[in-house]
Copies of this chain bind each other. A is one copy, B any other.
Amino acid sequence: MQKWKVLDSEYLYKTAHGNLRKDKCLLENDLVIEQYHVNEFADWVNAVVMTKKQEVILVKQYRHGGNDFFYEVPAGVAEEGESNTQAIKREVLEETGFQSDTEPIWLGEFFVNPATQNNKVISYFIPDAYPASAQNLDATENIEVHKIPIIELEKRINNGEILQMFSNFAFLLAKKHIN
């Protein structure tokens, strides 16, 4: 089994949120794929954030790809010079106003969709969170913060109400850290 050889490559666009690359690829059976599109993104970080009272902090926002409102765990991208743990702490504070004196616990890192994307998501669990400041959002963000007791969240997940895969996955990974 061999990697594909890239015969030609160009960018359809580059933006602050990601690039789209178009490759012409030679397969090991000599077949040529004229156009294979790859979404290039920076790695993403996200976190299951929980208070000492076992309430999980979720954010609700409009997502244009899905054309609907979604409950999700806080998430974002590291800025220049930031580590992933610094990034997720900053994103959580900006999106929710919560912080914790306990360091983020690494849950795992995974390629989001290696068929069509080049990036990973790194997931954390942040326990002992408490409200520390107001939200600090970008102009394009409108984010509601929801504090949901873990027992209620599990019911809502089981009822299919939390429909974003990243958030469900992070929560399943975090469960072994939650008593």
With an 8 A cutoff between CB atoms, is A177 at the interface? no
* Inter-chain contact B169/A64, CB cutoff 8 Å: no
Number of copies: 2
Assuming A20-B20, A31-B140, is B114 touching A68 (CB within 8 A)? yes
> Contact between B69 and A142 (Cβ–Cβ < 8 Å)?
no
Q: Does A126 contact B (CB under 8 A)?
A: no
Q: In the assembly, what is the distance between CA of A70 and CA of B108, in Å? A: 16
* A-B contact list, 6 entries, CB within 8 Å: A27-B142, A67-B118, A108-B168, A109-B163, A169-B169, A172-B172
Instruction: List A residues at the B interface (Cβ < 8 Å).
Output: 1-4, 12-13, 15, 18, 20, 23, 25, 27-29, 31, 33, 35-39, 60-70, 108-118, 120-121, 139-140, 142, 144, 160, 163-166, 168-169, 172-173
